[in-house]
Chains A and B, each alone.
Chain A
Amino acid sequence: EIVLTQTPATLSLSPGGRATLSCRASQSVGSNLAWYQQRPGRAPRLLIYDASNRATGIPARFSGSGSGTDFTLIISSLEPEDFAIYYCQVRSIWPPKDTFGQGTKLEI
């Protein structure tokens, strides 16, 4: 079973700053990784799929990178609405099952 470990658990930054969030998989997952943002009281929203592709409507300040076991989400210049919780996710091939990391809270 794949385990995703996100670091740090909490990241405290200021608007305009640069955020670097990490996700490590317990075994190689190729580029099979997605990132989601969840604002308080809201449903999760897809940000990045296949490790580095921005979803429709996601601003260019969000970028994803990595392959194998180590992945990074960078938010280049933080806007007030970016302070939220971020999750990484991987899909196991068989049986089909999604695994989420425990989340990184990005706080002001």
Chain B
Amino acid sequence: EVQLVESGGGLVKPGGSLRLSCSVSGFSLSSHSMNWVRQAPGKGLEWVASISSSSGDAYYADSVKGRFTLSKDNSKNSVFLEMNSLRAEDTAIYYCARDAWVAAHFLDHWGQGTLVSVSS
């Protein structure tokens, strides 16, 4: 069974840092790219970042580029989102999601999310 479990969320002051983790089971990170998607309170879904299964290359939304860093440890079945210089507008539930594809890419499994609150 595929499972994704996020952790590491919490309350942080503006300008602070936080590291989110996504622990996966039921599949290999060397076979599936991974994504982070966030949802601000009462708002829609916003893609944040993705990391390639093969190359480990990471890609970011413009809103977080230069502040967030996505990495993974295949041996630990975990993906990490390092978030620096946090702003109030980064407040959201952060979901990790597995990338899948047939003819095109989509997100076929999601974690339950972890809440990040940025406030003084």
Seen from chain A, the residues whose Cβ lies within 8 Å of a Cβ on chain B are: 30-34, 36, 38, 43-46, 49-50, 53, 55, 87, 89, 91, 95-103
Contacts and interface: CB of A to CB of B under 8 A. Distances in A.
A49 B108 contact: yes
Given A96-B59, A97-B59, A43 B107 contact: no
A88 to B, nearest CB: 10
Interface of B: 35, 37, 44-47, 50, 52, 59, 61, 95, 97, 100, 102-113
Contact of B37 (A33, A34, A98): A98
A31 B110 contact: no
B44 A98 contact: no
Contacts of A38: 45
A28 to B, nearest CB: 13
B103 A46 contact: no
A43 B111 contact: yes
Given A44-B95, A98-B35, A50 B103 contact: yes
Contact of A99 (B47, B103, B111): B47
A100 to B, nearest CB: 4
Given A97-B61, A103-B44, A46 B107 contact: yes
Contacts of B59: 95-97
A98 B108 CA distance: 13
Contacts of B104: 30-34, 49-50, 91
Given A46-B108, A98-B47, A32 B103 contact: yes
A46 B35 CA distance: 14
Given A50-B104, A87-B44, A43 B35 contact: no
B64 to A, nearest CB: 12
Contacts of B107: 34, 36, 44, 46, 89, 98
B50 A96 contact: yes
A96 B111 CA distance: 21
